Structure 1
Amino acid sequence: MSFRVAAYDDPESVRFVDAVQAFYVERYGGADATPVDPAEFAPPRGIFVLGSPPGSGPVCCGGWRRHDDATIADADRGVLRPGDAEIKRMWVDPARRRQGLATAVLAELERTARAAGCRRMVLETGSAQPEAIAFYEARGYAGMPGFGVYRDAPASICFARQLVITAAAPGGHGTPTVGR
């Protein structure tokens, strides 16, 4: 799998974001109302990637945006932390699912967030997405209090996972890992 950093508003990215929003309309009756500024997904504030398996064009995407003191709403203080990387618009083309692509996208998002100095990944999904809930739980994401536009919505489910660097052995180098 290869990943290409793309602008959130790049035509290829927009194709995937539109597919995600159409999916939300099917499942929830409306698109995600979370405010998104494409600049939030430009390094160093965040990243948006398109994933391509060997011999294929992009079939999946995902991004994260960093939260800091200026971007955390008053209602989210104490829930979101400066340096959190919020996952947004993670998507795999339905024809390419169940091939490990979502796992690869998530690993790339975690890797790039860790490299950017982020210490925790956070995300919001909903009860109408049991596949997403099972996916994140199986990868060590744990429930957290709600945040953002849907902080008080009964169907909203938020998750977090710590990004940590293991301590170096004497004479060795630390190994990046992800844990709770």
Structure 2
Amino acid sequence: MNVALESPDQPEVVALIAELDAYQDTLYPPESRHALDLASLKQPNVLFAVARDGARVALGCGAIVLGSEFGELKRMYVSPRCRGQGAGKRLIALLESEAAERGCTLLKLETGPYQPEALGLYERCGYARRGPFGTYTDDPLSVFMQKRLVPTAVAP
């Protein structure tokens, strides 16, 4: 398995994001979904990673939006047919490392309570529950988490 920063606008990755959207459509109403669109994922302050198998087929993806005070983990998804192979953990590890290299010291995320696999992954990766942040409101269909990072940025 290979995990690397890539562009989100590749057809295979767009299809993976559409798979994520279709899945979340079955779980949450539109007002409780806080997804980024493709144009937002292509912004310069966004790190976007893709996990691929040995045949270079996209298995999963994830992003971090870097802000001035924290980074936000977004669009994390591993196709159900590929879960249990470590793709999610490897995506998070790469994104955290890349964010830390850019001086990010805190990552936050919002996910839903009906995604036990995601919640378990985040907890295993060291994320702890917290209250709403940024523009999010307290919503029973939102779970908020965060993790501190040790910055690894090298001074110029």
- Give the total of aligned pairs: 152
Name the TM-score, length of structure 2 as normaliser.
0.83
Aligned counterparts, 1:148-167, within 5 A: 150-165=136-151
**How far 1:103 sits from its partner (Å)?**
0.8
Query: Are 2:9 and 1:9 equivalent residues in the alignment?
Result: yes
Equivalent position of 2:46 in the other structure:
46
SS in 1 for 2:99: helix
Q: Which runs of 4+ in 1 moved over 6 A?
A: none
Equivalent position of 1:94 in the other structure:
80
Distance 2:151 2:35 in 1: 31
Residues 32 and 141, structure 2, Cα contact 8 Å, conserved in 1: no
Q: Structure 1: give runs of 5+ residues left out of the alignment.
A: 69-81, 167-180
How big is each residue's C-alpha offset from its partner over 1:70-98, in whole Å with a ceiling of 9 and x where there is no partner? xxxxxxxxxxxx1x111111111111111
Residues 104 and 151, structure 2, Cα contact 8 Å, conserved in 1: no
How big is each residue's C-alpha offset from its partner over 1:131-165, in whole Å with a ceiling of 9 and x where there is no partner? 21122112211111113564221121111000115
Q: Structure 2: give runs of 5+ residues left out of the alignment.
A: none
Give the direction of change, closer, same or farther, for the CA distance of 1:148–1:34 in structure 2 (3 Å limit). Answer: farther
Rg larger in structure = 1
Residues 16 and 58, structure 2, Cα contact 8 Å, conserved in 1: no
Equivalent position of 1:119 in the other structure:
105
Residues 32 and 142, structure 2, Cα contact 8 Å, conserved in 1: no
Distance 1:4 1:129 in 2: 25
Q: Residue 93 of structure 2 aligns to which amino acid in structure 1?
A: A
Distance 2:143 2:57 in 1: 32
Distance 2:147 2:121 in 1: 13
Query: Are 2:128 and 1:142 equivalent residues in the alignment?
Result: yes
How big is each residue's C-alpha offset from its partner over 1:15-67, in whole Å with a ceiling of 9 and x where there is no partner? 11111111111122448642635455447512111111223321111111012
Equivalent position of 1:34 in the other structure:
34
